[in-house]
Amino acid sequence: MKFARELAEPWGLLLAATSAGVAWAVQLPVVAAVGVGVAVLAARAGVAVATREKEPAPREVRVLNVAAGSAEENWLHRASAAAAGFASLSGSLASGPLADRVADMEPVVQETLSTLNRLAGRASATGLALSRVDLDAVAHERRRLQRELRTANPEVRSDLEQALTAVQAQADVHARLSGARNKLLAQLQSGALGLDSLVARVAELTAATTDIAVDTGAVRELSDQLEGIRQGVLETEQATRKSLG
């Protein structure tokens, strides 16, 4: 397909026609002159395809699965419904200053929803990792090792201390995962309820404002509210990414 497009490129056709004309001008047979033009066109297209910078492959976006029936799925559904409500409100407004301002906010709402989607997936992944650490068993092992260390002989003390360090590392991992998951769930809740509140305020504003007298202060407050929600979910995503590695 790229080679065919290069064949049809106007500059290539012009170069081929010029080459054929020159060949005919030096008294080559017509068939030979046409052949020269075709050869020049094919060569030019081939070089163009070979040397043209390859288009970068689209970046693959890793989508994390959200656990069915989980708290994060419920908050994500709440946020999705709010985003759909905002889009519906935006589309229902008659043309005018207010409609334009609300329409400008819609991409930010969708961006925020996308980030919440990623947070929900990360929350589910974190919950799955948590389920693989039996905290009760870890606590039991730690108490047992601590008891043994109190009466251990010097020749086995080092081994017992290493075992205790390994058990403590599991407890530390569980604590970090629990903290990250709690942070993710709190932000999902805040983001979903924030979008809900935003939709309610837009509905209120559209009912109380005419296009002749747009309350610019109220619209600015809505924009600030949305930006606060967006920044909050982005900061949480960055923070949990760092804490979880």
The model's pLDDT over 73-121, given as tens digits with 9 standing for 90+, comes to 999 999 999 999 999 988 888 787 778 888 999 999 999 999 999 999 9
What's the token pair of residue 93?
Answer: 């407004």
Write out the DSSP string of 158-177.
Answer: HHHHHHHHHHHHHHHHHHHH
Residue 211, phi then psi, degrees to nearest 5: -65, -20
What distances in angstroms separate CA 21 from CA 8, 25, 27, 31, 38, one per listed residue? 19, 6, 10, 12, 12
The structure's pTM equals 0.68
- CB atoms inside a 10 Å sphere around CB 72: 24
The model's pLDDT over 23-78, given as tens digits with 9 standing for 90+, comes to 444 444 444 444 434 444 444 444 444 444 444 443 333 445 899 999 999 999 99
**Confidence category of residue 156, pLDDT binned at 50, 70, 90:** very high
- Gap between the Cα atoms of 65 and 121, Å rounded: 5
